[in-house]
Structure 1
Amino acid sequence: MDIGFILRCLMSRTSQSNKISIATILIGSVLLAALFLFPGFLPSLNLEKNHLAFHTLLEFFSVFVSFSISAFGWIAFRDMRTTTMLWLPIVFTAIGALDLLHALSYEGMPFFITENSAGKSIWFWIAARLTESVALLALLAHKEKPVTRKQYGALLLLPWAYVLLLAVIIIRFEASLPTLVVNGAGTTALKNALEYVNAALHAASIVFVVRYYRQTRSRTELELVFGIGLLLAASLLFTVYVHILDSIVIAGHLLKVAGYVFIFRCFYFARLEMIFQHKQRTEQDLQEVRGKLESFIEHTPDCIAFQDLKGRIVQVNHGFETIFGVCAEEAVGKRLSDLVSACRMDLKPLRKVFAGEPLIGHEMVIERKDGKTVRISTTLSPVRNAAGERVSIASISRDITEQKEAEAKLRQAEQELVETVREHQGMILKYKIQEGRIIHTLCDGQLLYDMQLQPEQIVGQGLPAIWLDDGQQRFHEHYQTAWAGRRVDFEATIQGIVCFITLSPIRRNGVIAEVIGSWINITKLKKTEELLQKSEKLAVVGELAAGVAHEIRNPLTTLKGFTQILGMKVDEDSQPFIELMMSELERIEAITSEFMVVAKPQQNQYEPVDIPQVLQQVIQLLGPQATLNNVQISLEVDAAVTTIYGDANQMKQVFMNVMKNAIESMERGGSMYIEVDNPQAGQLCVKVRDTGSGIPADMLPRLGEPFYTLKEKGTGLGLMVSYRIIEAHQGRISFDSEVGLGTTVRIALPTKSGF
């Protein structure tokens, strides 16, 4: 033991109890040294008669202390849960059990599981001492760690298994074990060696404890130093006795018992110190929490109030005065209804609060004494004591007047935005690309509904399938380009609607956050452009036709006249050639006549025209041609109003062109169905449907263009003139055809009442 260290501790500013413990260790160390150096120093007490009683009493007390340490360590483990407190009860359970076997197998004891003998008793003693020294050194040398394992109860079986194994070995092989003590001759060299090993392990344990004490200056380490020092001294004493009845044996047992007592005191005081430290930390934490809580209550802008179970205010903070306009002195002892002019709220939830249920986020409107109306959100909850009884009601209130006004304005702005976007004739959308996936965040507008879609089908989704029809996979490319930071403008046709689309990236903090898309329906604009192009073509054709017709008519008249004269003079064999020439000249004259119609539209005087009557006349005129081509013509009139304002001759020309084209498309015969009806008020519709060869879909948009025709010898001027006539009558003409099945021509005209 480091005597210098003990003297420095005694002279230092340490506690009175620590000084007493140090002094006791010092005095005890001197006495133990005297007993070891001068064995005769302890007078013979003639303990031969009472040796067994003294030995049994001391050993049983030692066993009691060992089991007490074990029990105390197990109880302390519930709170501390460290490796030391886990292994402490295991180790001292084994030590106590071995000491008990040592006491019961001692010579002269009245009972044991086998014959009592000094050999068994001494070997149980050595096993207990070595277990004690090795375990104490291991516990002191290891690094303390918290225990997280939950199934630790099974470890209590470990010491009993260890003791049972040693007991079987010692009892079964006693005769084969080396002799440790010879009465009259003293202890053997093996016994002394084992005791010295035990003493050395105790000395090493003392070194660890002294190191801990230098760091902590705790009384518990001093108690442990004294206890281990007494055990060390006991080990040394048991190397010098000659007979087991020597007084040194009793002195050694006394030292061992005293050492166990100090070890017990060490862990006991360690437990008390832990409790006091825990209590001190708890009080400090409680004081800190209380200070923070008071500071929070006082300085929070929210209103915090406590009411008793009768609704009277007990305590309020500064926020109460701000929200309710009443100071704390005036509020305490009164109910909330006494402090405000009017309060509009549902009282049913309040009854639940006073019944013990919390109320969270309850809104109410109050009118303060100064006339200001305030909307507040209140959370009420019962406050209970340690017994779980309700003692008061705590409330936290927040002024949400500005918040509610802002929410109302925001909702109004959102509603206006939604209405604006929804009433937009086009379509507005927003999207972003996340993990390579297109996600629309907004989509609305009249154009969306024209496409037979709803906003919920687009928002949160990618590109709809109908946007990708007709080979329009370029949508993906345009979307990616806009997300990369470039504005994109393009056209797309979806379900017959021509759209002009603009995608504009939006940057926030230099990063593209989303893309806004604007869709505009330009179908009418496209049709207008087509009409303008047709008009320009017609104007060019008109100018050309006027020039051609003017230049052709004079020589054509001359050629026709001379051909007729020539026909009267030729013989019969040449007459067919003359007729052929006249036929071709008449055809040229018909073409020039059509040119003149295109070149110089006539200023017509419109009058009431009965369409079914005109159709009947055209059917009669085309009857022979229909019969020759094996075509049956049927007319069905299902219209209440059949009269229009127009030019009968021009309408006859239109119907003749359309019906003639239908007959010529049915080379092998067929049927022509003519229907007249009023699809809507103020409109008359004539449908001419044939069962001919049909018209390819890519040619339908070009019908009506000059010189565009499907007939081998046609000019395309007939259908172009028909378009001009229908447009002049404020109507429209359209074609619907399928190759191999036939064509349907729809001519819509305003009626007399709707003109």
Structure 2
Amino acid sequence: MSVLGRITESNIIEKKLETSERIFAELFDQSMDAIIFWNDDGIIFRVNHSACKIFESSREDLIGSYIWKYVYSNNHHFSQMMETFERDTQVRGELIYKMPNNQIKLLELTAKKHEGDGYNVTIFRNVSERWLIEKELRDSEKKFRKIFEGTLDGLILWNHEGFTDINEAGQKILEISKRKLLSLSVKGFIEKIPENAPELNSHIENVYKHEVYSSIIPITFEDGRVKHIEFLTRKNLYSNLNLSIFRDVSKNLEMQEQIRKSDTLNVVGELAAGIAHEIRNPMTALKGFIQLLEDGVKGEFSTYFHVITSEIKRIETIITEFLVLAKPQALKVFKQDVHTILRETLELLAAQALLENIQFETNFEEDECKVLCEANQLKQVFINIIKNALEVMPDGGSVHIKTSRFSEKYVCISITDKGMGISTEMLKKLGEPFYTTKDRGTGLGLMVSYKIIEEHNGYIEVESEVGKGTSFHIYLPFE
């Protein structure tokens, strides 16, 4: 080849190199990713425009600087990446960088070592936005978890496939562990105790129908206890999950019931105060004239007078009960033996019990049991309850009276009959005015009994089973 030919070929090669270098420079500088060239000492010698933008620096500031000086913390993760880079001559990962203007960024990087050429190249991509979103998501999840676990209400996340989460309060209310609940299907949980199924299924149907639904459901537990639980469920809260918020409202319902009974008692008291005296005065006159007439009447008419006198006494008893309800009783309490009061009561009722073919069986744990009380009022309570027991046993039998200590603070007087028993619905209404299971009863006797025991700082509980009998448990404090 001639000298001219060699010159021409050399010029062509140089032009190609210039063109290639220009294309590379354009691509290098216009790349959206940050590209940095650095030598084996870690000194930067070439950067593109995107690198300046990401690192918040001018080209002059970056060139000549140490590439790793911007790493926010030389932690274990950074050390591992450097070891990988030295061993494999390349590495890929993410590091947190602190820019000269103190801005923190998460950069994804790919670094490659060119050993023969004496340079290394690192390509950076700013993933701070994704990092911030992930951080916000993590923070949001932490806040949600904090609220989820910290709330006093029970919370359950669930869908048609099963349960995904329950908080600590929910575990306590439903008396079930998280592990146990998550192992059950929704159907399995509902049908575990058949009594709960109808209302729980109805609640779920309404949730899918209305999207948000609230109801109070009596939940029966394996030992027979019942809690009234208020459920508020929102359908598809997120990710096809439903959220049920629930709380035990049993005490609230009991309190509302007590308030209702108290309001009723106040009304009855006002009514009693208005009519009791108005009735008692003419009744006294009638009773006197009947006694005068009775002395002068003989034969079959004396039976009629006996009935009239008996009914007048009954009316007087009702008036007395009205007056007990109408005004607060000024209690004159003394330490007295409950057993003595019970024995005196049983003596008063012994004749009636004999006529009904009923025996009294007593079981007193201690010889003496003294409480602060007004003896006549306690006697009235015992008479009311024992007379009720006699009247529900028309075929005879036995009434069991037992006393025992309860929690070192109370004496418990239990009066048990073997009568027909009382249904659960009727038990709830015992002690209300004018509610009675007897044909000729007024319901005032039990109401007065409840009031007297309450004034003695005690309380009454009733247990009953239809067809087997009823037990009244009267609790009186020792002091």
TM exceeding 0.5: yes
Aligned to 1:176: none
SS in structure 2 of the partner of residue 705 of structure 1 = coil
Counterpart check, 1:669 vs 2:398: yes
RMSD: 5.0
Name the structure, 1 or 2, with higher relative contact order (CA <8 Å, separation 6+). 2
**Unaligned stretches of 5+ residues in structure 2:** 1-18, 221-225
1:602 is displaced (CA, Å) by 2.3
Q: Does the CA contact (< 8 Å) of 1:634 and 1:673 recur in 2?
A: yes
CA distance in 1, matches of 2:172, 2:25: 58
Q: Which of 325, 341, 360 does residue 631 from structure 1 map onto? A: 360
The 3-state SS of whatever aligns with 2:198 is coil
Aligned to 1:601: 327
- What residue is the counterpart of 2:337 in the other structure? 613
Query: Residues 482 and 515 of structure 1 are in contact (CA less than 8 Å); yes or no, is this contact kept in structure 2?
Result: no
* Aligned with 2:464 (options 737, 742, 746): 737
Find out whether 1:356 has 2:88 as its counterpart. Answer: yes
Q: Residues 730 and 416 of structure 1: is their aligned pair in 2 closer, same or farther, counting only changes over 3 Å?
A: farther
**Aligned partner of residue 355 in structure 1, secondary structure:** helix
Q: Distance in 2 between matches of 1:661 and 1:293?
A: 107
Structure number with higher helix proportion = 1
User: Contact between 1:500 and 1:519, CA under 8 Å: does it hold in 2?
Assistant: yes
Q: CA deviation at 1:342?
A: 6.5
2:370, 2:50 → 1: CA distance?
Answer: 83
The size of the alignment, in residue pairs, is 439
2:8 matched to which residue of 1? none
Asked if 1:376 is matched to 2:106, the reply is yes
TM-superposition CA deviations, 1:188-229 (whole Å, max 9, x none): xxxxxxxxxxxxxxxxxxxxxxxxxxxxxxxxxxxxxxxxxx
Contact in 1 for aligned 2:106/2:131 (Cα 8 Å):
no
Answering whether residue 384 of structure 2 is matched by residue 653 of structure 1, we say no
1:450 equivalent to 2:179? Answer no
Task: Say if 1:444 and 1:340 are closer, same or farther in 2 by CA, change over 3 A.
Answer: closer
Residues 154 and 173, structure 2, Cα contact 8 Å, conserved in 1: no
Structure 2 counterpart of 1:686, from 378, 398, 412: 412
CA apart distance, 1:478: 0.5
Q: Is the 8 A contact 1:421 1:444 kept in 2?
A: yes
1:346-745 → structure 2 map (5 Å cutoff): 346=76, 347-356=79-88, 361-364=93-96, 366-368=97-99, 370=100, 372=102, 374=104, 376-379=106-109, 395-397=122-124, 407-427=134-154, 437=160, 446=169, 449-453=172-176, 457=181, 462=186, 464-465=189-190, 469=196, 471-472=198-199, 473-483=201-211, 488-495=213-220, 496-502=226-232, 519=246, 522-546=249-273, 549-566=276-293, 568=295, 581-598=308-325, 600-605=326-331, 610=335, 613-622=337-346, 625=349, 628=354, 629-636=358-365, 649-662=376-389, 667-669=396-398, 671-678=400-407, 684=410, 686=412, 688=414, 690=416, 692-693=418-419, 694-728=421-455, 732-745=459-472
Give the direction of change, closer, same or farther, for the CA distance of 1:659–1:507 in structure 2 (3 Å limit): closer
Question: Could you report, residue by residue, the CA deviation over 1:253-304 in whole angstroms, capped at 9, with x for unpaired residues?
Answer: xxxxxxxxxxxxxxxxxxxxxxxxxxxxxxxxxx99xx89984885335x44
Show the 5 A alignment for 1:258-337.
Answer: 295=27, 299-301=31-33, 303-305=34-36, 311=42, 313=44, 316-325=47-56, 327=58, 331=62, 335-337=66-68
**What secondary structure is seen at the aligned counterpart in 2 of 1:471?**
helix
- Determine if contact 1:312/1:333 at 8 Å carries over to the other structure: yes
- For residues 749 and 357 of structure 1, the distance between their equivalents in structure 2, rounded to whole angstroms, comes to 88
Structure 2 contact 155–166 (Cα < 8 Å) conserved:
yes
The alignment-based identity, stated in percent, is 27
Residues 201-280 of structure 1: matches in 2 within 5 Å?
A: none
Q: Distance in 1 between matches of 2:144 and 2:332?
A: 50
Give, in whole Å, the separation in 2 of the partners of 1:544 and 1:384.
104
Alignment correspondent of 2:73? 343
Per-residue deviation at 1:748? 5.4
The 1-side partners of 2:82 and 2:477 are apart by: 72
- Which structure has the bigger radius of gyration? 1
The alignment's TM-score, normalised by the length of structure 2, stands at 0.69
